[in-house]
Amino acid sequence: MRLIRQRNGLDCGIAVAAMLAGRPYAAARAADPDPDAMHGFWVQEMVDCLGRLTGRPWAVSRRTTLPIGPAAVIIRPAGRRIGHWIAWDGRRIYDPQMRQPFDPRRYPRRHWQIVRVVYQL
């Protein structure tokens, strides 16, 4: 997976969708189901965007651990309501705010809670 950086404070979902689909940022931006929204991706918007980009169905899990295979994962610090999308390739975490992928044990936000996981069916 190639790391794609987010371009503003609300587009972590766009960057994560691009990474998981293996597509450029612009393609993920064009697949955004609500491009005029003044918020980041809701869970269903991530599912829809990934479906458009890959042509395959994606589903949501409330699991609180990283899955075996690739996924879009919402994380957040304890006590906060707003989350942050990261990509997971089954081995490393790709955070669109950071400059390199991380082994989960070395990820600076490893103590944040996993809220939702979007995975390919």
Q: Rounded to two decimals, what is the model's pTM?
A: 0.95
Residues 13/45, Cβ–Cβ less than 8 Å = yes
Tell me the three state secondary structure of residue 120.
strand
pLDDT tens series, the chain, 121 aa: 999 999 999 999 999 999 999 999 999 999 998 888 888 999 999 999 999 999 999 999 999 999 999 999 999 999 999 999 999 999 999 999 999 999 999 999 999 999 999 999 9
Strand partners, 59: 119
Half-sphere exposure of 32 (CA within 13 A, CB side): 21
